[in-house]
Structure 1
Amino acid sequence: MGKIFVFTLAALLAGSAAVGVASAKAADAAEDVQKLTNDSRVFRIDPSVQVRVVRFHNRYGIDLTGHLYLPGDFSADKKYAALAVCGPFGAVKEQVSGLYAQEMARRGYVALAFDPSFTGESGGSVRDVASPEINTEDFSAAVDFLSVQDCVDQKRIGVIGICGWGGMAINAAAMDTRIKATVASTMYDMTRVTANGYFDSADSADARFEMKKALNAQRTADYKKGGYEPAGGVPDTLPKDAPDFVKDYYAYYKTKRGYHARSVNSNAGWNKTSSLPFVTMPILAYAGEIRSAVLLVHGEKAHSRYFSEDAYKQLTGGNKELFIVPGANHTDLYDQMDKIPFKKISAFFADNLK
Structure 2
Amino acid sequence: MAAIVGASGGAALAEDYRKNPFTLTYGGAITKNEPGQIHIHPVQYKLNGLDIAANVYTPANYDPAKEYPAVVVAHPNGGVKEQVAGLYAQRLAEQGYIAIAMDAAYQGGSGGEPRNTDKPQHRTEDIHGAADFITRYAGVDAARLGLLGICSGGGYALAAAKSDKRFRSVATLSMFNSGRVRRNGFEDSATSTIGQRLQQASQARAQEAAGGKVLYIGGGAAATDAQIAAMPFEMYREGAVYYERSHAHPNSGASPNSGGAYTVSSLLDLMRWDATDQIELIDQPLLMIAGSKADSLYMTLDSFAKASGTKNRELFKIDGATHIETYWVPQYVDAAVARLTAFYAKTL
Bin for the TM-score computed over the shorter chain = 0.7 to 0.9
Following superposition, the deviation at residue 133 of structure 1 comes to: 0.7
Aligned mate of 2:23, from 37, 40, 49? 40
Task: Return the letter of the residue paired with 1:184.
Answer: T
Q: Residue 115 of structure 2 aligns with which residue? A: 127
Q: Residue 9 of structure 1 aligns with which residue? A: none
Q: Residue 284 of structure 2 aligns with which residue? A: 292
| Contact 2:235–2:296 (Cα < 8 Å) also in 1 | no
Task: Return the letter of the residue paired with 1:291.
Answer: D
1:116-153 CA-partner distances (Å, limit 9, x unpaired): 00011111132110111111011010001111123111
Gaps of 5+ in 1: 1-36
- The secondary structure found in structure 1 opposite 2:130 is helix
Q: Does 1:336 align with 2:343?
A: no
Aligned mate of 1:310, from 275, 293, 302? 302
Distance in 1 of aligned mates of 2:194 and 2:230: 26
- The secondary structure found in structure 1 opposite 2:162 is helix
Aligned mate of 1:162, from 150, 172, 179? 150
Q: Residue 70 of structure 2 aligns with which residue? A: 82
Distance in 1 of aligned mates of 2:149 and 2:22: 23
Distance 1:208 1:303, change over 3 A: same
Q: Residue 24 of structure 1 aligns with which residue? A: none
Distance 1:249 1:233, change over 3 A: farther
Following superposition, the deviation at residue 283 of structure 1 comes to: 3.1
1:143-165 CA-partner distances (Å, limit 9, x unpaired): 01111123111000011110011
Distance in 1 of aligned mates of 2:190 and 2:115: 29
Q: Residue 349 of structure 1 aligns with which residue? A: 344
Q: Does 1:259 align with 2:248?
A: yes
- The secondary structure found in structure 2 opposite 1:318 is coil
| Contact 1:132–1:283 (Cα < 8 Å) also in 2 | no
Following superposition, the deviation at residue 225 of structure 1 comes to: 5.4
Q: Does 1:301 align with 2:293?
A: yes
Q: Residue 200 of structure 1 aligns with which residue? A: 188
5 Å-filtered alignment, 1:1-354, equals: 38-43=21-26, 44-46=28-30, 48-58=37-47, 60-203=48-191, 207-224=193-210, 226-233=212-219, 235-237=222-224, 238-239=226-227, 240-243=229-232, 244-255=234-245, 257-267=246-256, 268-316=260-308, 317-340=310-333, 341-353=336-348
Distance in 2 of aligned mates of 1:282 and 1:53: 32
- The secondary structure found in structure 2 opposite 1:125 is coil
1:244-265 CA-partner distances (Å, limit 9, x unpaired): 332201220111x210011001
Task: Return the letter of the residue paired with 1:236.
Answer: A
- The secondary structure found in structure 2 opposite 1:236 is coil
Gaps of 5+ in 2: 1-19
Distance 1:282 1:247, change over 3 A: closer
Distance in 2 of aligned mates of 1:125 and 1:210: 26
1:16-72 CA-partner distances (Å, limit 9, x unpaired): xxxxxxxxxxxxxxxxxxxxx9421111224532011111222x2222110000001
1:157-186 CA-partner distances (Å, limit 9, x unpaired): 011110011000011000101111111100
Distance in 2 of aligned mates of 1:159 and 1:249: 24
- The secondary structure found in structure 1 opposite 2:87 is helix
| Contact 1:56–1:141 (Cα < 8 Å) also in 2 | no
Following superposition, the deviation at residue 101 of structure 1 comes to: 0.4
Distance in 2 of aligned mates of 1:233 and 1:165: 20
Q: Which runs of 4+ in 1 moved over 4 A?
A: none
Distance in 2 of aligned mates of 1:137 and 1:215: 22
Following superposition, the deviation at residue 106 of structure 1 comes to: 0.6
Matched length: 313
Following superposition, the deviation at residue 275 of structure 1 comes to: 1.6
- The secondary structure found in structure 2 opposite 1:167 is helix
| Contact 1:161–1:167 (Cα < 8 Å) also in 2 | yes
- The secondary structure found in structure 2 opposite 1:83 is strand
| Contact 2:180–2:273 (Cα < 8 Å) also in 1 | no
Following superposition, the deviation at residue 203 of structure 1 comes to: 3.5
Following superposition, the deviation at residue 231 of structure 1 comes to: 1.0
Task: Return the letter of the residue paired with 2:343.
Answer: F
Following superposition, the deviation at residue 224 of structure 1 comes to: 4.5
